[in-house]
Amino acid sequence: DAGVTQSPTHLIKTRGQQVTLRCSPISGHKSVSWYQQVLGQGPQFIFQYYEKEERGRGNFPDRFSARQFPNYSSELNVNALLLGDSALYLCASSLGGGQGASPLHFGNGTRLTVT
C-alpha cells in the first residue's frame, strides 16, 4: 500500500514569494496534519484537518494556511516567505475520528529553502 506522498520533494524560493506544498494521505485515512521541522529539532505542529475541517492550529502566523479536499488530500500554503521558513515540511495522515489519538504516519517531507 502507498504511504503518505508529498510533493515536491525539494523547493527553492526567494523571500516574499508564495509556496504551495501538497500531500496525499494513506488510503482510508481521513485526517491530515502538517508539521514544520527545523534542522536539529523535533517537528512542530502547524495544522490538523479532519473531514475537510480545521481541527487544530499551531502557533504559526497567518501567512500559513491549509485546506483539505474531498479526496482527503491537502495543501499547505505559505505567503510572504521569510528566511526563517526554511525547513522540512512534513505531512502526516491518520485515521482520525473515534476516541483517542490516532497514530500519525509521516511522508518524507518537502525540503523548502528560502533565499
- Site residues for another protein, window 25-54 (CB under 8 A)? 33, 35, 40-45, 48
60 binds another protein (CB under 8 A): no
Q: Which three cell numbers stand for residue 11?
A: 523547493
Does position 93 bind another protein by CB under 8 A? no
* Strand intervals (E) in the chain: 5-7, 10-13, 19-24, 31-37, 44-50, 53-57, 64-68, 74-78, 87-94, 105-106, 110-114
**Strand 53-57 relative to strand 5-7: parallel, antiparallel, unpaired?**
unpaired
Min dist. Cβ of residue 42 to another protein (A):
3
Binder among 74, 78, 109, 112 for another protein (CB under 8 A):
109
55 part of the interface to another protein, by CB under 8 A: yes
Binding site for another protein (CB under 8 A): 4, 33, 35, 40-45, 48, 55-56, 58, 90, 92, 94, 96, 99-109
